[in-house]
Chains A and B, each alone.
Chain A
Amino acid sequence: MGKFILRRLIQMTGLFFVFLVLTWVVLQALPGDAIAQRFRLNPNLPPEAIQQAIARLGLDKPWYIQFRDYMAGFFTGDFGVSFSQYPRPVRDIILERLPRTLVLFTTALVVQYYVGFQAGKFLAWRRNQRGEMAVTVGGVALYTVFYPWFALMMIWLFAAQLDWLPLGQFITISLWKDVPFSSNEVFLQIFYTVFIASLAVVAVSYVARRIDVPRNRIFVRLAGLAIIAAAFMAYWRASPRSTYAWDIAQHMVLPVMILTLIGFAGIMLLTRSSMLETMKEDFVLTARAKGLSERDVRDHHAARTALLPVSTSLVIAVATVIDGGIVTESVFSWPGMGQLLLGAVLSEDIPLAVAAFSFTGLLALVGHFVADILYGVLDPRIRVTAQG
C-alpha cells in the first residue's frame, strides 16, 4: 500500500507540473493588453510609476525568463502579484479564498456521499415499492436540473420567500461594521475548530470499531460524540466572536445545501444501480441463507460491496463539485476560489487566473488521489495486489 501511494504521489506531481505549464502557456495567450489598459492608459500615473509596476510584475523580461521565474516562484509559494488587485500578492488572495472553498467543497462532498449513498441503498432495497418511483423521479430531476437556475430558485425560496437564511455574500456587512477583527480570522477559527472536531470524530469511530461487544461499542461511540459536541459548543460559547462566527455559518448553509443537492442525486442514482447489481450476486443469497437479518444483509453485504463503484465516482464528483462551486459562489457572491477564477479570467488578471486555475486543478488531482486510496482501502483485491 505504501509503495502504491508513493507511486501515485509521484505520478500526481508530474501531472500537476504539466498542468501548471499548460495553464501558464495558455493563459499567456489571453487577448488584450491588460497591462496597457490598467496602467499605461491611466493618466493619473506618472511614467516612472508605470515602469516600476511593470518591473515589479516582471513583464519587462522575455517570456522564457518570466516562465522560469514563475515556475521557480510557484514551488516556493510565490505566485506573483495580482493585476486587478495590484499590488496584492496572489498568494495572499489564494490563502484567503482557498480555506473557504475547501470547507464548502468538503462539506458538500461528505454530505452528498453520505446522504446519496444511504438514499440509494434504501431505494434499491425497496425496489418496486411505493415511493420508489417518486424518489427516482425527484433524483433524475435534481440530476438534470440546470443548476444556476436551481441555485437562484433556492435563494428565491429560502431567502426571499421564507426569509429563513441570508441572501448571499459571505457576511452581513452591517453586523461587521466597527469590528476589530476580519471575517477571515473568524472563518479560519471556525475552520480549525471544525477540523479538529472532525478529526476527533474519526478517532472515536476508529476506536469504537475495535470494540467487540456491541453494547460497549455503541456506548463509546455516543459518549465520544457527546464529549466532542460539548467541547465544541463550550469553546464557541466562551468565545467573544461567536455571534460573528454564527453569521458566517448562516451564510454558508445555503451554498453548502445547494452544492450538496446538485451532486447528491447522481450519487443516489449510481448507488441504486450498483446496489441492484450486487443484490443479484450469490453472496447476498448466502448471507440470507446464513440467517442474517435483512438489515445486516443489506448493510454488511450488499451495500458494502456496492460501495466500490460508488467510491470511484469520487473523481467525477470532485469535478462536478468544482464546477458547481463556480456557479454557486458566483450566484451567491460568495468569495471563494470559483468566484476568484471567474473574476480573474473576466478581468484578464493573468497571475491570479493562472494560480486560481492551478489550484482548481490541484483540487481535482487531490480528489483523484483520495479516490484511488479509498478504493484500495475498500477493495481487498486491489489492496492485496498493491502490496505484492
Chain B
Amino acid sequence: MTTPSIEVTDAPIGTTILEVDHLVMHYETQQGDVSAIEDVSFQLQQGESFGLVGESGCGKTSIAMALLRLQADNAVFKSGEIRLNGTNLLELSENEMRSHRWSDISMVFQGAMNAWNPVHRVGDQIKEAMDLHIRPQLSHSESRERIGELFELVGLTPEMMDRYPHEFSGGMRQRAVIAMALSCNPQIIIADEPTTALDVIVQDQILQEMKKIQRELGMSIIYISHDIAVIAEVTDKMGVMYAGKMVEIGDTADIFRRPKHPYSFLLLSSTPSITGPRRKLAPLEGEPPNLMDPPSGCRFHPRCPFATEQCSTDEPPLTDLGNGHHVACWNWQEVPDIAEGLKK
C-alpha cells in the first residue's frame, strides 16, 4: 500500500526528536492565573508512540496546543523549553514557527467532526497544507495524486477528495483528518482524543489503522486521551497528568502493571477489565482542583487515600524507579500492585 512519495522517517528510529523540558504555562484571567501546565517534562523518540492521560481539564490539551504554539491568547509560558530536533520552539518567531507547523508536527484534533471547514472541499483543505509546506511545490495533478494515495492509505477512496465534509460520515471524516495529518510527512503527529466522538467499532478500526500507518511510516505519535483503554492499546510510553502536573511517566506496560502514583492506581482500578480477574472497582472521589488556587504540596492530596501530613505541605519530586519509570509521590511504596497484568 505504501508508495514511495509517502515517506516519513528522517531520523533513525530511537533518536530523541522532541524534548519538553520543565514547561510551565499559565492562563492569565481577570480572576487570576490558572496554572495549566506546571513543570512538565517528557521526551519522545523517533517512531515511538507516547500517551498522555488524565481527567479533562488536567492540561493534556494545553500541552498539545503548546507543542504547536497554538495556545490561547491569554496563555503565557513562564519557563521551560520545547525542543524539536534541538531547536527551542518557544524562541522562534511566529513566521518560523509557522513553517514547523504541520510539516514537522501535525495534529489530529479533538472532535475531528468540526476540524473541517464546511465550505471547502476536503481535498482542497489538504492541498492547502501541502502547497504551503512541500517543496518543490507539487503541481495540481501531483497534489491530487498524492491526496489520492493518502486517502487509500487511510482506507478511503481517492474520488472522495472532491466531496464536502458534510457528505462524510464521522468515521470517514476522522480518516480524512488522519490523511491530512500525514500529508506533509510530519515527524510527529499529535492525536488529541482522536476517537472520542466515534462509536466503539469505528474507534477500534481507526486506532488499528493508525497503528498500522505508524508501523509503515515510522513517525512518532503523541496520543492524548482521557480514555485509559485507548492509551493502553496504542502507546509504548505514557504519562499520567493530574492538575497540570505530570505525576507518573514510564513504559505503558510498566504503569499498567505497577502504577505507583495513587492517582494512576485509582484511574486504572476504576476501569473494569473484561479479560483480567474479577476485582472491586475503586472509585475516584471528589472533584479536580481549581487550578486558579491549586492545593499546596501535592496537588492530589485532598483526594488521595494514601495522603499523609507531608503531602499537604511539600511537593513530591519525580522519583526514578528504574527503566524510565518516574513517579511524583511521597508514598509510592504504599501503593499496592494491581493484581492483573496488562495484555499487551
Which of A283, A381, A384 sits near B114, CB closer than 8 Å?
A283
Which residues of chain A are within 8 angstroms of B110 by Cβ–Cβ distance?
282
> Contacts A287-B117, A305-B118 hold; do A380 and B102 have CB atoms under 8 A apart?
no
- Are B119 and A378 interface neighbours, CB within 8 A? yes
Question: Chain A's nearest CB lies how many Å from the CB of B324?
Answer: 29
CA of A301 to CA of B103, assembled, Å: 20
CA of A308 to CA of B129, assembled, Å: 24
> Contacts A212-B140, A381-B164 hold; do A289 and B102 have CB atoms under 8 A apart?
yes
Which of B103, B106, B109, B133 sits near A285, CB closer than 8 Å?
B109
Interface residues of A in 299-315 (CB under 8 A from B): 300-301, 304-305, 308
Judge whether B99 is part of the interface by a CB distance below 8 angstroms: yes
Which residues of chain A are within 8 angstroms of B106 by Cβ–Cβ distance?
289-290
Total number of B residues with any Cβ neighbor in A under 8 Å = 29
Which residues of chain A are within 8 angstroms of B102 by Cβ–Cβ distance?
289-291
Which of B114, B117, B132, B164 sits near A291, CB closer than 8 Å?
B132
> Contacts A212-B140, A283-B114, A380-B166 hold; do A290 and B119 have CB atoms under 8 A apart?
no
Judge whether A76 is part of the interface by a CB distance below 8 angstroms: no
CB within 8 Å: A-B pair count: 74
- Are A381 and B111 interface neighbours, CB within 8 A? no
- Are A291 and B101 interface neighbours, CB within 8 A? yes
Q: Write the B290-308 contact mask toward A (1 if CB under 8 angstroms, else 0).
A: 0000000000000000000
Which of B100, B109, B117 sits near A301, CB closer than 8 Å?
B117
Q: Write the B110-122 contact mask toward A (1 if CB under 8 angstroms, else 0).
A: 1100111111110
Which residues of chain B are within 8 angstroms of A288 by Cβ–Cβ distance?
70, 101
Which of A212, A283, A308, A379 sits near B116, CB closer than 8 Å?
A283
- Are B98 and A286 interface neighbours, CB within 8 A? no
List residues of chain B with CB under 8 Å of any chain A CB.
Answer: 68, 70, 98-103, 106-107, 109-111, 114-121, 128-129, 132-133, 140, 164, 166-167
- Are B117 and A285 interface neighbours, CB within 8 A? no
Q: Which residue of A lies closest to B107 (CB)?
A: A289
List residues of chain A with CB under 8 Å of any chain B CB.
Answer: 212, 281-283, 285-293, 300-301, 304-305, 308, 378-381, 384
- Are A289 and B98 interface neighbours, CB within 8 A? no
Which residues of chain A are within 8 angstroms of B121 by Cβ–Cβ distance?
380
Q: Which residue of B lies closest to A278 (CB)?
A: B117
CA of A308 to CA of B121, assembled, Å: 16
A sample of 8 more A-B contacts (CB under 8 A), given A287-B128, A288-B70, is A282-B115, A283-B114, A289-B102, A291-B103, A292-B98, A292-B129, A379-B119, A380-B118
CA of A308 to CA of B119, assembled, Å: 9
Interface centre among A212, A283, A378, A381 (most CB of B within 10 A): A283
CA of A301 to CA of B129, assembled, Å: 13
- Are A305 and B117 interface neighbours, CB within 8 A? yes
- Are B129 and A282 interface neighbours, CB within 8 A? no
CA of A381 to CA of B166, assembled, Å: 7
Question: Chain A's nearest CB lies how many Å from the CB of B105?
Answer: 8
CA of A289 to CA of B111, assembled, Å: 15
- Are B117 and A290 interface neighbours, CB within 8 A? no
CA of A287 to CA of B98, assembled, Å: 11
- Are A282 and B109 interface neighbours, CB within 8 A? yes
29 contacts between A and B (CB under 8 A): A281-B114, A282-B110, A282-B111, A283-B117, A283-B118, A286-B107, A286-B109, A286-B116, A286-B117, A287-B117, A287-B128, A288-B70, A289-B102, A290-B101, A290-B102, A290-B128, A291-B100, A291-B102, A291-B103, A292-B98, A292-B128, A293-B98, A300-B128, A304-B120, A379-B119, A380-B164, A381-B164, A381-B166, A384-B166
Which residues of chain B are within 8 angstroms of A381 by Cβ–Cβ distance?
118, 164, 166
- Are A289 and B118 interface neighbours, CB within 8 A? no
CA of A286 to CA of B128, assembled, Å: 11
- Are B117 and A304 interface neighbours, CB within 8 A? yes
Q: Which residue of A lies closest to B117 (CB)?
A: A283
- Are B128 and A384 interface neighbours, CB within 8 A? no
CA of A105 to CA of B115, assembled, Å: 39
Q: Which 4 A-B pairs have the closest CB atoms?
A: A291-B101, A282-B114, A290-B129, A283-B117
Which residues of chain A are within 8 angstroms of B140 by Cβ–Cβ distance?
212
Which residues of chain A are within 8 angstroms of B116 by Cβ–Cβ distance?
283, 286
CA of A286 to CA of B111, assembled, Å: 11
> Contacts A305-B119, A380-B119, A384-B167 hold; do A289 and B114 have CB atoms under 8 A apart?
no
- Are B119 and A291 interface neighbours, CB within 8 A? no
Question: Chain B's nearest CB lies how many Å from the CB of A106?
Answer: 26
> Contacts A285-B109, A381-B166 hold; do A304 and B98 have CB atoms under 8 A apart?
no
Interface centre among B99, B103, B109, B121 (most CB of A within 10 A): B109
CA of A124 to CA of B114, assembled, Å: 21
- Are B132 and A292 interface neighbours, CB within 8 A? yes
CA of A379 to CA of B117, assembled, Å: 11
Q: Which residue of B lies closest to A281 (CB)?
A: B114
Interface centre among B70, B109, B119 (most CB of A within 10 A): B119
CA of A292 to CA of B129, assembled, Å: 7
Which residues of chain B are within 8 angstroms of A379 by Cβ–Cβ distance?
118-119
Q: Which residue of B lies closest to A378 (CB)?
A: B119
- Are B70 and A283 interface neighbours, CB within 8 A? no
Question: Chain A's nearest CB lies how many Å from the CB of B163?
Answer: 9
Question: Chain B's nearest CB lies how many Å from the CB of A168?
Answer: 44
Q: Which residue of B lies closest to A288 (CB)?
A: B70
Q: Which residue of B lies closest to A307 (CB)?
A: B119
Which residues of chain A are within 8 angstroms of B114 by Cβ–Cβ distance?
281-283
Question: Chain A's nearest CB lies how many Å from the CB of B122?
Answer: 11
Which residues of chain B are within 8 angstroms of A291 by Cβ–Cβ distance?
98-103, 129, 132-133
- Are B115 and A286 interface neighbours, CB within 8 A? yes
CA of A291 to CA of B132, assembled, Å: 8
CA of A378 to CA of B164, assembled, Å: 13
Which residues of chain A are within 8 angstroms of B167 by Cβ–Cβ distance?
384
Which residues of chain A are within 8 angstroms of B166 by Cβ–Cβ distance?
380-381, 384
Q: Which residue of A lies closest to B177 (CB)?
A: A286
Which residues of chain B are within 8 angstroms of A287 by Cβ–Cβ distance?
117, 128
Which residues of chain B are within 8 angstroms of A305 by Cβ–Cβ distance?
117-119
Question: Chain B's nearest CB lies how many Å from the CB of A121?
Answer: 15
CA of A291 to CA of B68, assembled, Å: 9
Which residues of chain B are within 8 angstroms of A301 by Cβ–Cβ distance?
117
CA of A160 to CA of B258, assembled, Å: 87
Which residues of chain A are within 8 angstroms of B115 by Cβ–Cβ distance?
282-283, 285-286
Question: Chain B's nearest CB lies how many Å from the CB of A307?
Answer: 8
CA of A379 to CA of B116, assembled, Å: 14
Interface centre among B106, B107, B118, B167 (most CB of A within 10 A): B118
